[in-house]
Amino acid sequence: MSQQRANVRGAYDAGGRGRRGNNTGRGRGRGQRGGFSSSVRGGRVVGGGAPSDAPLIYKADQPARVDARVDSADELIPRLRALGLTKEHPPRPGYGTIGRAIVVRANYFAMDLTRDTYYDYVVDISPVSHSRKPTAHVKSRVLTLFERSPKALPYIHKIAHDGAQRLVAAERLPQPLQGVVKYFDDEDSKPRQDADSYTVSVQFIGELPTAPLKRFQDGDVKNIDKAKEIDPLISALNLIMQRQAAQHGALMGFYSSVRPVHKQLMVNVNVCMAAFYEPGKLSDALHAFRSRSRGAIPQDFLAKVKVSTNYRGYKCVRAIFRISDVSAKKQKFSSKEYGRKVTVEEYFSKTYGIKLKEADTLPLIDIGNSGKPVYVPAELCTIERGEPFFGRLGRNETTSMLRYASRKPAMNAQLIVERGLPRLGYTPTTPVLDAFGVHVSGEMSVIPARELPPPKVTYATGSPRVEGGSWNLRDVKFHRGSKAPNWMVLVVRDGVKDLSFDGTNDPRLLTFLNAFANKCRNSGMDLALKPSSILETDDLSIIEDQRRRPAAVARISRAIERTTSFTPGIKRLCAVDFGVHSQCLWLKKALDERGREQYLANVALKLNTKLGGINHLLGKEAMSWLREKPTMLVGIDVTHPSPKSASGTPSIVGVVASIDNDFVQFPASLRLQKSKREVIRENVLRDMIVERLQAYRQRLKVLPERMIVFRDGVSESQYTEVLEQELSQIFQAFARVDPKNPKYHPVLSIVVCGKRHHARFFPTDSKYADRNGNTRPGTVVDKGITSVLDFDFYLQAHAGLQGSVKSTHYVVLYDESSLTANDVQQGVHTASYLYARATKAVSLVPPAYYADIVCERARYWIHEFLLANTQDDDDASSGTSTCKGVDSGTSASAGRRKLTREEAENHVFAAAERAWGNGLHVNLRDSMFYL
């Protein structure tokens, strides 16, 4: 809720995270962070946005000449064909030709290497004598201290490391290279007398020649082992570039990643947005939170946030385990030091001479774990700078961050070139880059692109004009309206006086419901004129009472403020327990007469599809490639618990698949699997694909002859694992679905969809741009910055609303259909206009989009686990010093064996499975209940 976001700030940051509340490694390579930031505080943007007179086109006054190397791109295709066609990782069959040719700039910068060889080393860091085992933070700090030691200092500009175990050098280092480091934090000038000591050993493991990379970029890939000869070198180059950024003090603001493309090595640089906790006194954060939450304790908001203390004379950093509900004045414990029970307030006064100012007004902070609490007063804690916020932002903070991020594309391009490259230390050149023989161009790449034509959209009463990737619903009726002869309304009171009705007979409520029913009927739905009943409550048990009545309830509507916590409960009850469709309505929209018409139209779009209707279709020409043979489109996604969730909370697997020849209806299958596991294993996917095939056969009386799978959410490093684990399960599903025909095997293609990339494209001429300065809907890029070997492309099917529009990266991972570039590019673009709950093309192909949505809906079914944080953090320290607060002297596990981490996670998983129950109710399994 928004009141819980009092001390979150927005900043441009390299860790740009999107949906699902976590980072699943979906970027296309290792990146690093760089340096421009600004804060969003209390809903106010600090630092400002783009000036109002910002140019529409970046470098509009300069000619945009396509990079000369792109002219030879077509020469690559015969070399790839000579490799022989393979179904797994199929090489690019050619380049697309459909659409209007245009020219764009890309945030890719040419990177040249003058050295022929780099040198790879493994680093071992081990504690000396009785020193403690190093944490990840300590390892990174120890390596930094080792770099400054007499043995390593001569090579300080010639080495780069990952802060843990890998080091890359520009020249051969002496062997053995070893030293002992005494630890101290960067805030200290020297180590304490009792500081921990560590032995650092740097051992040579091999050379990294650049010649194979050059051959690979030229398309001579036949005798190159990419995994052994190319990937380790690219990883090493990313370490070098990361070292350069770190030496320039670039902590937040810019992302960069080294990418090999045809005829050139490139570095992709982007400016990003993420949310951070406002650094400063924890007591201030607690006061701000309380003032907006009526005294609630911010358990979820502050769990795992790192705070530092200095009351023992040195800095100590620990993660918050929980917020106590007791103050320092009231919390007592048995003190061995004083031989009696004392309060925390008294202990800090006697032991450290600290008189607490807020001993009775603020709760204590527990930096221990569930087995052994360790209490520290909040006023002695400081939130560390750069602490990322992984939770969900409130509406105000999201709006503020979007406003700040909504710079015009031309301004973002300018920011990347004029601030990003210098802040990262890439331009002008530096001693580190010179030592490694690295030169980065200061000019964006200029590459060819195309604008694909939109398809024809048809309704029952005509075909609206498609312009800019969207169209208007005015004076049209759904292609096929659904039936809802029985529906009821549930009005839930949430205590907001300005957003509530005066009983179920309130004229405003009845007027709104009448407008809602008329909109649905005018759009082509067969909806009863009035609801069968209108109920008002703040107690969800009334739904169970209503269930006992012998009435078929088509839907339950909720007209309340959208931020209420009732949403998960209602959605779960309807989808899992009762098997009825639900549509939640936002009261603020319902009472706004100016925007009501558009809002109700959007609601009708969702409801009609949920109940089995068809909103719109595409012209016959647009769908001809899919209708050549019976085809099933499949979307697969996995959503994961956030860092705020209970440890062991399951991930949720969602599979949707078409069951009609119009590719409109996509019912879903859902399953739980082990926490934070992206690749679907253990026959889970097999059984889900069988379910989808059976649903297809039940509706169309045949099994599909072709299946095209759109897999969302996997990173490049997981491609091979997807083929090994998931492809075999799909094959097993084919063999199981029809016992009479175990050899059934439709032609299969798998396309990976990725939104978590950092490629951005900027128009070079106003005729290639929309009114916001973005590239236009239908822009596709498959030359210049795409993979040398893989069959991939970037497609922007949708219109950008704010800031720089982001395309989707598609990679054909497996193909038995011999797809051409035109087939898959135009096919995906066309399908993007089939999204049921909007009158516009969407950024992600609908099967993948639906899979994402159904996973998000299913999160409601285990909502309490996704929000709870019960994980111990025994290794939370980011330093080697003992962070000593007040040890409670008791253990939560006294008298019983403490569960191991694995046992505790298994316990949470089992509890989540019980809450999940049988999953989706059988009544809804053939519907798009999740819209």
Quick check: is 311 in a domain? no
Model confidence at 478, pLDDT cuts 50, 70, 90, reads very high
Buried b (16+ CB within 10 A) or exposed e, 801-817: eebbbbbbbbbbbbbeb
pLDDT at residue 573 in the model: 86
Over residues 763-814, the pLDDT tens digits come to 999 999 999 999 999 999 999 999 999 999 999 999 987 778 999 999 999 9
- Please name the residue ranges forming H helices in 183-230: 211-217
Instruction: Note the pLDDT of residue 445.
Output: 98
Q: Does residue 120 sit in the same domain as residue 193?
A: yes
Q: Are residues 699 and 848 in the same domain?
A: yes
Q: How many domains does the chain have?
A: 3
Q: Say if residue 523 is in the same domain as residue 602.
A: yes
Q: Is residue 686 part of a domain?
A: yes
**338 found inside a domain:** no
Residues 671 and 531 in one domain: no
Report yes or no: 523 and 608 within 8 Å, Cβ to Cβ. yes
What's the full length of the chain, in residues? Answer: 931
Instruction: Indicate the pLDDT class of residue 194, thresholds 50, 70 and 90.
Output: confident
Asked if residue 162 and residue 201 are part of one domain, the reply reads yes
Q: Which of 441, 470, 503 is the last residue of a domain?
A: 441
* pLDDT recorded at residue 42: 29
Q: What is the pLDDT of residue 252?
A: 52
- Domain membership of residue 514 (yes or no) is yes
316 phi/psi in degrees, rounded to 5: -135, 135
- Domain match, 560 and 435 both: no
pLDDT at residue number 256: 93
pLDDT for the residue numbered 15 = 33
| Residues 205-235 pLDDT 10s | 999 999 999 999 998 888 889 999 999 999 9
In a shared domain, residues 579 and 664: no
Average pLDDT for 55-81: 91
- 287 belongs to a structural domain: no
Last residue of a domain, one of 389, 417, 441: 441
Does residue 592 sit in the same domain as residue 729? no
> How many CB atoms within 10 Å of residue 399?
15
Q: What does the pLDDT average to over 631-641?
A: 96
| C-alpha to C-alpha distance for 4 and 668, rounded to whole angstroms | 34
Confidence at 6, pLDDT banded by 50, 70, 90: very low
The verdict on residue 132 lying in a domain is yes
Which residues make Cβ contacts (< 8 Å) with residue 892, sequence separation at least 6?
370, 371, 372, 373
- The three-point CA angle 881-196-190 to 5° equals 85
Domain membership of residue 792 (yes or no) is no
> Do residues 692 and 840 both lie within one domain?
yes
pLDDT at 686: 98
Boundary of a domain, candidates 390, 409, 441? 441
CB 810 within 8 A of CB 819: no
Do both 637 and 582 map to the same domain? no
pLDDT digits 0-9 by tens, 401-450: 555 556 789 999 999 999 999 989 898 888 889 999 999 999 999 999 99
- Kindly report the CATH number assigned to the domain that includes residue 605: 3.40.50.2300
- Checking if the pLDDT of 725 tops 90, the result is yes
Radius of gyration of the CA atoms of the chain, in A: 30
Three-state secondary-structure class, residue 572 = helix
Separation of alpha carbons 508 and 513, rounded Å: 9
Instruction: Categorize the per-residue pLDDT at 624 as very low, low, confident or very high, splitting at 50, 70 and 90.
Output: confident
Whether residue 577 is found in the same domain as residue 719: no
User: At residue 632, does pLDDT exceed 80?
Assistant: yes
Six-digit token pair at 33?
């962070």
- Range of 843's domain? 630-642+649-704+706-745+835-872+896-931
**292/1 Cα distance (integer angstroms):** 10
Share of the chain above pLDDT 70, in %: 82
What local confidence, expressed as pLDDT, does residue 543 receive?
Answer: 54
Q: What is the tens place of the pLDDT at every residue in 640-692?
A: 998 778 889 999 999 999 999 999 999 999 999 998 889 998 899 999 999 99
Report yes or no on 380 lying in a domain: no
Find the helix packing angle between 719-737 and 684-700, rounded to 10°. Answer: 50
Q: What is the pLDDT of residues 563-622, one digit of tens each?
A: 345 678 888 888 998 888 988 887 777 778 888 888 899 999 999 999 999 999 999 888
Please write the tens of the pLDDT for every residue from 387-412: 777 665 655 555 555 555 567 899 99
718 and 594 in a common domain? no
Residue 296 pLDDT > 60: no
Sequential DSSP letters for 497-545 = GGG--SSTT-HHHHHHHHHHHHHHHHTT-EE-SS-SEEEEES-THHHHH
Domain CATH code at residue 922: 3.30.420.10
